[in-house]
Amino acid sequence: MSDRWYAIRAVYEHSREEDGTGVFCERVLIFKAPGSEAALDQAERESAQYLRLNPDFQRVGEWTIVAMPKGQTPGSGSEVWSMVYLDKRSGEDFYREHYKNLEVSADHDG
């Protein structure tokens, strides 16, 4: 079996602010592996290293994995992550509430 590229998402909780607001980090990494189990093994090892470097973080939730089509190599313009949501809000409301309202700016000192 030839190797294939996989995009794997993990979510980490960093801390809680004084008001109880959680600080979360979502990471999507790509791995080349002969199958999804091998890709998840690589993600587990990378996550363990990431947590050693960030001892205040903890991984929460489940891994989410997307396989690229066989034979496709990531390059300029390659889609490595895609998620579909169902929501009754307008596009602008969904974007603002799902992304913008939760975003932390680079100068945030929380």
Q: What is the pLDDT of residues 9-62, one digit of tens each?
A: 999 988 888 888 888 888 999 999 999 999 999 999 999 999 999 999 999 999
Does residue 47 contact residue 25 with C-beta atoms inside 8 Å? no
Q: If you average pLDDT over residues 86-105, what whole number do you get?
A: 81
Question: DSSP state, 82?
Answer: -
What ranges do the domains of the chain cover? 4-80
pLDDT at 46: 96
Q: What is the pLDDT of residues 58-86, one digit of tens each?
A: 999 999 999 988 888 888 787 787 777 88
**pLDDT confidence bin for 109, thresholds 50/70/90:** low
Stated as kind and residue range, the H or E segment containing 46 is helix 36-53
Strand partners, 10: 27
pLDDT at 8: 94
